[in-house]
Structure 1
Amino acid sequence: MIKFIFTTLLIIFFIRMVAPTLFRWLLGMFIRKKMRDGSFYTNMHQQQRQAQQQSQNSNGRTKGGVKIDYIPEQPERKTFNGGEYVDYEEVK
């Protein structure tokens, strides 16, 4: 029983104290490596350029353009002269 409690406390300590520091260190190493290679910024700029090109290419218009479609006239609707009435009982 004491071994289980000790193991549980050790796992909680690791998750609470060590894991965030370890993840922060690994993320920093990854970003430094990408910046050293020069691929960090080029990937961001390529993604932005692709997004701009896609927005310009969609439907042959630029983003924010206005397109007006023809809306045909609707036939006149008949007026509603009433409906079917249903009896109901009030429940208390």
Structure 2
Amino acid sequence: MNHRRRLKQQIDNQVKRIKKADRERPTLFAQTVYIGTLGLVMVLPIIGGAYLGHWLDSMMPGYSMRWTLSLLFAGVVVGVFNVYFLIQNK
């Protein structure tokens, strides 16, 4: 009799865990927003670095892409760190 009670309790606990996991599963909308956020935190520093670098290069006489390429690369590095930290904090 004790074994039945223990088995019933284990089954009840598993059912509760399954129902809780089903309720807490992210929806398609929530997953889409998360992926969109990851994209933005990756792309915005890259675009910002490229624009800032282009603006700085246009201030210098002659043709130069030094600042554009440097800040574009810095934007990639910042974007990768942003995505990494966002994923770690989830």
TM-score using structure 2 length: 0.35
Structure with the bigger percentage of helix: 2
Larger radius of gyration: 1
TM-score using structure 1 length: 0.34
